[in-house]
Amino acid sequence: MTEINFARTDQVRDILSVFAELLWPAPREKMMEIATRLGWTILSETPNSTRFDTGLPTNPSRGGVTIDNGHIGQVTLNLTDKLTDPDPGSVGELAASTLRFREEITDLLGEPTGVRRGTEPRYTWDLANGGRAALTSSRAVVKLIVLQKRYADIERREEGLGISESRDSEADIV
């Protein structure tokens, strides 16, 4: 079985606290303040994205921000190593870590407001500032995603309409 590195509880708690305190829409320049507060290093910036090193004990330890009209849109980072060739034991360990992370985030934010089960589970929490945090996992990695308020509002509307997250949006085009 492959040894897997994980983000610590205090690191996840710090990340969620920072993003739960943001006022949306948050300008992209706010990422420098966030990076400093969390001990992250900005690696690159383009008009549509920012790449950073989280310093988390994961491989890779990089994360990314989607920039939308000069504002933070979505932040994505790995909470575990990303496995290139996961064996059954490693897949089981990632699944167990997903449940552990879910419990830790629930302790901080309350019960998830959304749950998608299956081979790639996703748990979501609505933040008091209107944003949203999501914990996702696959056979290879567990990720934390933070959505700005506008993106979270779109997700909430789609969920309210019963639109499946896994739908093929191109199939809607006639």
Q: How many residues does the chain have?
A: 174
Q: Decide if pLDDT at 171 tops 70.
A: no
What single DSSP character describes residue 22? P
What is the tens place of the pLDDT at every residue in 14-52?
A: 999 999 999 999 999 999 999 999 999 999 999 999 999
In 3-state terms the chain splits into helix, strand, coil percentages (rounded to 5) of: 35, 30, 35
What is the tens place of the pLDDT at every residue in 111-154?
A: 999 998 877 889 999 999 999 999 999 989 999 999 999 999 99
What's the pTM? Answer: 0.91
Chain position carrying tokens 């809607």: 172
Q: Which long-range contacts (CB under 8 A, 24 or more apart) does 101-105 make?
A: 101/12, 101/135, 101/142, 101/144, 102/135, 104/9, 104/12, 104/13, 105/12, 105/16, 105/133, 105/135
| Sequence-ordered strand ranges (E) for 7-130 | 41-46, 49-53, 62-68, 71-78, 114-116, 122-126
| Strand-by-strand arrangement of the 114-116 sheet | 41-46, 49-53, 62-68, 71-78, 142-147, 132-137, 122-126, 114-116
